[in-house]
Amino acid sequence: MVDESSNEMNDDSTTDSVTETEKFDVIYSCLRCNTKVSNSELNRLPEIKCICGFRVFTKVRPPIVKTVKAI
C-alpha cells in the first residue's frame, strides 16, 4: 500500500518535469530557408546548423503586442 502511493507520486513528478521542458521550448527560424527548428532539436546535433547548412538563426517571437502605460 505504501509502495503504490510512492509510485503515484513519482509519476506525477515525471509529468510535471516533461510539461515544464515543453513549455520553455524555444523555436528558431533559419535566415536562409526559413525552416522552424526547436531548441531541443538543435541540442541533439554536435553543431548548431540548419539542414541547408546555414548557421544563422533568429528567435521566432509570438505575435502578441505589449502596451506599457507611460508614467
- Kindly report the CATH number assigned to the domain that includes residue 45: 2.20.28
30 is in an annotated binding site: no
Specify the pLDDT at position 58: 94
Are 25 and 60 in contact, with CB atoms under 8 Å apart? no
* pLDDT at 9 exceeding the cut of 60: no
Specify the pLDDT at position 45: 85
Domain holding 32, by residue range, is 25-62
Q: What angle do CA 48, 54, 56 make, to 5 degrees?
A: 65
Cell of 9: 507520486
Number of domains in the chain: 1
**12 domain residue, yes or no:** no
What are the phi and psi torsion angles at 3 (to 5°)? -65, -40
**36 domain residue, yes or no:** yes
**37 domain residue, yes or no:** yes
52 is in an annotated binding site: yes
| 13-69 pLDDT, tens digit each | 555 555 555 567 899 999 999 999 999 988 888 899 998 999 999 999 888 888 999
The reported pTM is: 0.56
Specify the pLDDT at position 14: 52
Helical H segments across 2-57, by residue range: 2-23, 39-44
**1 domain residue, yes or no:** no
**13 domain residue, yes or no:** no
